[in-house]
């Protein structure tokens, strides 16, 4: 199972560095959406 997921991600991202960049980008995006939602909730 773990080996398969490694192969699948290897197909999408040829290098490990790309995977790390994708994870960081996703986390930043989720954090921005989270903080944005909190601000909107406070105003309304």
| Torsion sign, CA atoms 11, 18, 24, 36 | negative
- Nearest-angstrom CA–CA distance, 17 and 27: 15
Give residue 1's pLDDT: 46
What residue spans define the domains of the chain?
A: 2-43
pLDDT higher than 90, residue 34: yes
Residue 25 tokens read as: 């980008």
pLDDT higher than 80, residue 27: yes
Classified as helix, coil or strand, 44 is coil
Is there a contact between 19 and 11 (Cβ–Cβ < 8 Å)?
no
Give residue 28's pLDDT: 92
């Amino acid at each position: 199972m773990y080996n398969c997921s490694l192969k699948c991600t290897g197909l999408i991202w040829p290098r490990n560095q790309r995977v790390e960049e994708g994870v960081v980008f996703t986390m930043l995006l989720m954090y921005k959406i989270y903080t944005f939602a909190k601000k909107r909730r406070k105003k309304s």
